[in-house]
Chains A and B, each alone.
Chain A
Amino acid sequence: MITPLKFYEIFEEKKGKRRKLFTKNLVRGRQVYGEKLVRDKGVEFREWNPSKSKPAAAIMKGLNQFGLKPGDKVLYLGASSGTTVSHFSDIVGEKGMIFALDFAPRVVRDLVMLCEVRKNLAPLLENAFKVDDYKDKIIHPVDFLFQDIAQKNQAEIFMRNVDAFLKKGGYCHLAVKSRSVDVTKKPGKVFNEVKAFLRERVEIVDYRELGPFEKDHAYFVCKKR
């Protein structure tokens, strides 16, 4: 049986100890990355795989707040080929809009194809560090900002975009890959440094480490002051 979670438009199914996450499929009958489609009482759900998507992993690890709701305007940095973006697109629904940004032409190729199928997605092939390059191309302020960019200065990139585009009180999520920040340091130390950096600038409402779904990754849920 598929039941709603406490977050908007995110569902779960419990079978013994196993727990699976789902979102309602916005485009019926279509898979995005080979995930399972499940019908329940006439509604089609897509399985949200926590090993392939960091927000799903964070929810599995017991996130208390998520903050994404139907109709939101979203800026998604580091969209890649659109695995996680597709689930966000399910959640915000037809009235929402997502600007999905990535810098690598190869993955944006797949992303564009996804955007053509899903009416609430718009692609951007830009460098997330150069905020001025795309500030005129998106509708801002946005209600929700997500970043998953494995870069050395990813926290700095995150804050730049939060400052430039997020509305006051809006939620912003950051997935940190400690090995991209500094391979020689222990992950916990890197996470603490990022935490200290963020604490001065935004309100951190939740923090999770993503093992065993993703190795050496941490997930921050923040709110703009």
Chain B
Amino acid sequence: MKDFKELRKKLIEETKKKIKASVKKDNLIIQAVNSIDEADRAANTLAKRLREWYSFYLPEFSNSIASHQKFAELILKKSKKELLAEIKLSPEKSMGADLEKEDLDAMFELAKALGGLYNYKEKELKYLEAAAKKHCPNVTALAGHLIAAKLISLAGSLEKLSAMPSSTIQLLGAEKALFRHLTTGAKSPKYGILHEHPLILNAKKSEHGRIARLLADKIAIAAKVDFFKGDFVGDRLKKEIEKRIKGDIEKNSRGNSKGRAK
């Protein structure tokens, strides 16, 4: 029993040290990217509320502006008159009610808080960009800092990401669809978080799967280089992807015309 008392003390101490040592850059990047995601979601909810609220006062303005951020900025900066002039509407034609100053101020507090949230997001993005470039330059060069950070977040760490095969990377973020596919035999997903990548967003729908596969291939290589601190090869990998995409499309269209000729 006495042994245990001492052993326990030693183990608590040792475990504390291990936990302290386990905090890595990965963890910080993951927290930052998740925080950005959540700030995004919170900002959207609040912005919708603000628009709803402000529309009692000036309903015609909300539809004229798509960006939530600009909306919050403008209603703080300009008066009702100026805003009406901006959308070329005479005050008599507006459906908005006249509100007292204290009611307006309550609303503007929300607009200020929302502005702060957008401000926070921008700063956090800058931090993330610098951190990602330093921590995983190659993956960042291929996927951009946001997707690179999300990939690390989904994998758990850069080490785990570097140990993943490209097929797994391709489907990170599509776990639900993948398991639905495996258990019920539904269609298999083509991509997970990679669908946010500009190369995929800008491609034809029929090309999405192929490009996702290509991207995942090169990201798998890049992650390995990053984890084992190799030289920068991001540029080369990216060029290879772009070349392949072009080549594939050309080859494809040639193949098709042949098919039609028969």
Residues of A at under 8 Å CB distance from B?
95, 97, 99, 105, 108-109, 112, 115-116, 119, 121-125, 137-139, 183-184
Which of the residues B4, B7, B18, B179 comes within 8 Å of A125, measured between beta carbons? B18
Interface size on B, residues (CB 8 A): 18
CB <8 Å contact, A105 and B18: yes
Given known pairs A95-B1, A112-B16, the reply for A183 and B11 (CB within 8 Å) is no
CB <8 Å contact, B183 and A183: yes
B:1-42 near A, CB below 8 Å: 1, 3-5, 7-8, 11-12, 14-16, 18-19, 22-23
> Which residues from chain B contact A125 at a C-beta distance below 8 Å?
15, 18-19, 22
> Which residues from chain B contact A115 at a C-beta distance below 8 Å?
8, 12
Residues of B at under 8 Å CB distance from A?
1, 3-5, 7-8, 11-12, 14-16, 18-19, 22-23, 179, 182-183
Which of the residues A108, A121, A139, A184 comes within 8 Å of B183, measured between beta carbons? A184
Which residue of A is nearest B18, CB measured?
Answer: A125
CB <8 Å contact, A124 and B182: no
Which residue of B is nearest A94, CB measured?
Answer: B1
Tell me the bound Cα distance from A105 to B179 in angstroms.
Answer: 27
Q: Smallest Cβ distance from B175 to chain A, in angstroms?
A: 10
CB <8 Å contact, A123 and B12: yes
Which residue of B is nearest A118, CB measured?
Answer: B8
> Which residues from chain A contact B5 at a C-beta distance below 8 Å?
119
* Most A Cβ at <10 Å: residue of B4, B16, B23, B183: B4
Which residue of B is nearest A121, CB measured?
Answer: B8
CB <8 Å contact, A108 and B12: no
> Which residues from chain B contact A184 at a C-beta distance below 8 Å?
182-183
Which residue of A is nearest B178, CB measured?
Answer: A183
Tell me the bound Cα distance from A158 to B101 in angstroms.
Answer: 69
> Which residues from chain B contact A123 at a C-beta distance below 8 Å?
11-12, 15
> Which residues from chain A contact B18 at a C-beta distance below 8 Å?
105, 125
Q: Closest 7 interchain pairs by CB?
A: A105-B22, A122-B8, A122-B11, A123-B15, A125-B18, A97-B4, A125-B15
* Most A Cβ at <10 Å: residue of B5, B7, B8, B16: B8
